[in-house]
Amino acid sequence: MPPKKRTARNLPPHIRGDADRLPRGIWFNPSGRGCWIYEYREDGRKKTKKIADAKASLAELHVIVDAFKKQKTLKFLISGSLKFVMLNAT
């Protein structure tokens, strides 16, 4: 299924023209002061995390998402390594 098309009407003004360049899994919640939300899967469940306020630039959003993905990958690798070590210890 193709990803949902992003609409620019709810995005902050400094991002509207570049809506197609937003990282995958990012959406803007315009309620209150507004914030950027990252949607991801963990343990087979969909989760969301607030990652930035409305003033974040497109470059900042890319850096945040990349760091978040690396953190999740590292967490997965470490937990997998620990399981492997525990299995080999018995």
Please report the sign of the dihedral spanned by the C-alpha atoms of residue 39, residue 71, residue 61, residue 35: positive
pLDDT of 79: 52
Specify whether the backbone of 36 is left (phi greater than 0), alpha (psi in -120 to 50) or beta: beta
pLDDT of 90: 46
pLDDT of 7: 60
pLDDT of 58: 92
pTM: 0.69
Residues 6+ apart with CB under 8 A from 10: 28, 30
Per-10-residue mean pLDDT, the chain, length 90: 59 85 89 89 87 90 86 59 44
pLDDT of 67: 86
pLDDT of 4: 55
* Three-class SS of 17-32: HHHHHCCCCEEEECCC
Q: CB–CB of 68/49 below 8 Å?
A: yes
pLDDT of 32: 86
